């Protein structure tokens, strides 16, 4: 091994540490993140000292977080991201500003200088995107209300990190002559940021998709994988060039490609790299914990860690109540956002460079953040085993999860206003159903009326198996969220081909997407009720009830036939509009002709 290159030796060390530590950690129920962090501590400078260049490894491993956010972005179409704008900027700003303000006030009250208090509180207000998203993905929490809220807040933190870094030179030791120059630099940077983001948006729309299509035609999978990685690396480099977060740029690129036909292939190609690099990132965090600072002032370190976790936890608890998250989801939500974040490392190092506070203070704060990231997964295990069962009993309903194999002929995914009607009709006719929903408040309301609803997310394959999907005859997809609906359908068709699917469509686009997947029994959720309202209006305008019903049924039949004609062309906007106009004109002419015939028959009394 004397002549072996350093990268080979380091690779051997990292892989060996991960292969040993992670399975051991999971075997004792501590999870994979704790295994990675423990491996980093053991092989790092304060362990057996196999690796010392922690900074270089940490910068390289941050690319795992970048790839994770790119994959998260691929799951969010621009329309869905736009729908989250209020939660991103509303809840996100409440969390960051609320936590920073409380931390700063407490620090000043304890005699800390205002500059140090401001920078420390802003850095500590940020949370670990890597740990939070990894935990939520492992627990399949992202589709839940708390998962969506946590993701929105984490995304806002990535945006907020930019002005935080821009604030540091103004707080540092600078002369008056430099302040004007600094402001000019900020203006130039702002112009660069706008130009880069605009370039990414336009490039994603106009260039990247045709480029991926051209590469895919070469039928060389390894080149497509290289192109996917090149896309993420290139956008990350652009974001770094103007001082933005690499992860934010990768997320934006993922959102722009969320509607691409190559989305699934991109996910498949990048997922293995994301997993390995994210593991390396957690190992690097474990290695970066400075136990020297901890040993020099253990009391101060403990006070900082416990203090900022408790203060952030208080603010986030109030935020969870304001958002009205289900009781069972609040403890995990609070813990994931209360911990420190990897971006705090950058903030505190930059603050030391700008002379806001000494390097020793930066080391203390970085150590506190790293320890909080180490403690959070451990506390999460304790919360799972000790707090959640008691919390659920004392504060809200205990959710009944599926633990035994079910054998009902019908599975209903989603027990909202739509799924409830279906379940009541089937139950009244003597058919048993297995009902799944992940809204704790909805389940508790259903229990009061005597319905048995299992707590769970139907996008999980293991849960569908336990619900009896392999033997059931019908799966009713009645969930509200369009993306979850399509994911459940894809999962069922891939693993349970004998299962007949009956689905609810939110709108015309959703209807077409379901039909693309071979689902033939699709009902638009407002269609029938809208027809009944139209019949009522016709009766109020003087039509006989029978005539109003005939008009509505004629429109219904025409609309269903028109939809079948439109489906092959729904992605061709010009063709779609032409067919719709033609169909509407035909219907109007047909109904006008029937009204004329009706008037001619009236004197003979045939229609009365």
CATH 1.20.1530.20 in the chain, residues? 52-395
Mean pLDDT of 241-247: 70
How many Cα atoms within 13 Å fall on the side-chain side of residue 386?
Answer: 6
What's the pLDDT score for residue 608? 38
The CATH topology of domain 52-395 is Na+/H+ antiporter like fold (1.20.1530)
Greater pLDDT, 580 or 367: 367
The listed CATH number (3.40.50.720, 3.30.70.260, 3.40.50.300, 2.40.160.20) that belongs to domain 398-525: 3.40.50.720
What's the pLDDT score for residue 456? 74
pLDDT digits (tens, 9 = 90+) for 547-586: 888 888 888 787 777 767 766 666 656 655 665 566 566 6
CATH 3.40.50.720 in the chain, residues? 398-525
What's the pLDDT score for residue 321? 85
Residue 602 tokens read as 């009236």
pLDDT digits (tens, 9 = 90+) for 98-147: 999 999 999 899 888 888 888 889 989 988 887 888 788 777 677 677 88
What's the pLDDT score for residue 174? 45
pLDDT digits (tens, 9 = 90+) for 174-195: 434 444 545 566 566 667 777 7
- CB contact at 8 A, 215 and 269: no
Task: Inform me whether the pLDDT recorded for 476 exceeds 50.
Answer: yes
Task: Inform me whether the pLDDT recorded for 41 exceeds 80.
Answer: yes
Mean pLDDT of 219-235: 79
The model's confidence at residue 149, banded by pLDDT at 50, 70 and 90, is confident
Average of per-residue pLDDT values in the chain: 77
Residue 208 tokens read as 């990247």
pLDDT digits (tens, 9 = 90+) for 252-266: 777 777 777 677 777
pLDDT digits (tens, 9 = 90+) for 315-345: 999 998 888 777 777 888 888 899 888 778 7
The model's confidence at residue 411, banded by pLDDT at 50, 70 and 90, is very high
Mean pLDDT of 240-252: 72
How many Cα atoms within 13 Å fall on the side-chain side of residue 559?
Answer: 13
Residue 476 pairs with which residues in a beta bridge?
412, 502
What's the pLDDT score for residue 187? 65
3-class secondary structure for 162-214?
A: HHHHHHHHHHCCCCHHHHHHHHHHHHHHHHHHHHHHHHHHHHHHHHHHHHHHH
Task: Inform me whether the pLDDT recorded for 152 exceeds 90.
Answer: no
CA dist 94 → 167, 213, 248, 315, 332 (Å): 19, 42, 20, 9, 19
């Amino acid at each position: 091994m004397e002549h072996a290159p350093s990268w080979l030796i380091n690779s051997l060390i990292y892989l060996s540490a991960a292969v040993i530590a992670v399975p051991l950690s999971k075997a004792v129920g501590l999870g994979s993140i704790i295994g990675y962090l423990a491996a980093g501590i053991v092989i790092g400078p304060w362990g057996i000292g196999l690796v010392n260049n922690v900074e270089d490894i940490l910068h390289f491993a941050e690319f795992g977080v970048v790839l994770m956010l790119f994959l998260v972005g691929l799951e969010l179409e621009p329309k869905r991201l736009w729908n989250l704008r209020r939660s991103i900027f509303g809840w996100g700003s409440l969390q960051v500003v609320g936590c920073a303000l409380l931390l700063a006030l407490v620090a000043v009250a304890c005699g800390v200088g205002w500059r140090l208090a401001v920078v420390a509180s802003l850095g500590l207000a940020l949370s670990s995107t890597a740990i939070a998203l990894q935990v939520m993905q492992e627990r399949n929490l992202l589709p839940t209300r708390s998962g969506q809220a946590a993701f929105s807040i984490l995304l806002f933190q990535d945006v907020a990190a930019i002005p935080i870094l821009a604030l540091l030179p103004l707080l540092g030791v600078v002369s008056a002559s430099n302040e004007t120059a600094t402001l000019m630099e900020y203006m130039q940077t702002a112009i660069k940021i706008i130009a880069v983001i605009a370039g990414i948006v336009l490039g994603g729309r106009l260039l990247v998709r045709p480029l991926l299509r051209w590469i895919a035609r070469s039928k060389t999978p390894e080149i497509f994988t290289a192109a996917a990685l090149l896309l993420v690396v290139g956008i990350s480099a652009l974001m770094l060039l103007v001082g933005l977060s690499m992860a934010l740029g990768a997320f934006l690129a993922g959102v722009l490609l969320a509607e691409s036909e190559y989305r699934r292939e991109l996910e498949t190609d990048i997922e293995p790299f994301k997993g390995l690099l994210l593991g390396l990132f957690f190992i690097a965090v474990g290695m970066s914990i400075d136990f020297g600072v901890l040993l020099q002032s253990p009391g101060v370190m403990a006070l900082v860690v416990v203090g900022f976790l408790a203060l952030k936890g208080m603010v986030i608890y109030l935020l969870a109540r304001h958002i009205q998250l289900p009781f069972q989801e609040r403890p995990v939500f609070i813990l994931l956002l209360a911990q420190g974040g990897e971006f705090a490392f950058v903030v505190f190092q930059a603050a030391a460079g700008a002379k806001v506070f000494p390097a020793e203070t930066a080391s203390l704060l970085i150590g506190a953040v790293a320890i909080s990231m180490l403690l959070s997964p451990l506390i999460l295990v304790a919360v799972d085993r000790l707090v959640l069962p008691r919390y659920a009993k004392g504060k809200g309903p205990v959710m009944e999860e599926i633990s035994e194999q079910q054998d009902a002929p019908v599975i209903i995914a989603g027990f909202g206003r739509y799924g409830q009607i279906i379940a009541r009709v089937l139950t009244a006719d003597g058919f048993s159903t297995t009902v799944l929903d992940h809204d704790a408040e909805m389940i508790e309301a259903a229990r009061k009326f005597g319905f048995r609803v299992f707590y769970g997310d139907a996008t999980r394959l293991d849960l569908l198996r336990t619900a009896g999907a392999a033997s059931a005859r019908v799966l009713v997809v009645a969930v509200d969220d369009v993306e979850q609906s399509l994911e459940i359908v894809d999962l069922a068709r891939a693993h349970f081909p004998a299962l007949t699917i009956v689905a609810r469509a939110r709108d015309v686009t959703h209807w077409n997407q379901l039909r693309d997947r071979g689902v033939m029994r699709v009902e638009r959720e407002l269609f029938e009720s809208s027809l009944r309202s139209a019949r009522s209006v016709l009766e109020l305008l003087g039509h006989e009830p029978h005539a109003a019903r005939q008009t509505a049924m004629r429109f219904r039949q025409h609309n269903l036939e028109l939809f079948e004609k439109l489906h092959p062309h729904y992605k061709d906007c010009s063709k779609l509009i032409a067919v719709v106009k033609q169909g509407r004109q035909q219907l109007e002419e047909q109904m006008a002709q029937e009204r004329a015939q009706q008037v001619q028959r009236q004197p003979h009394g045939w229609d009365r």
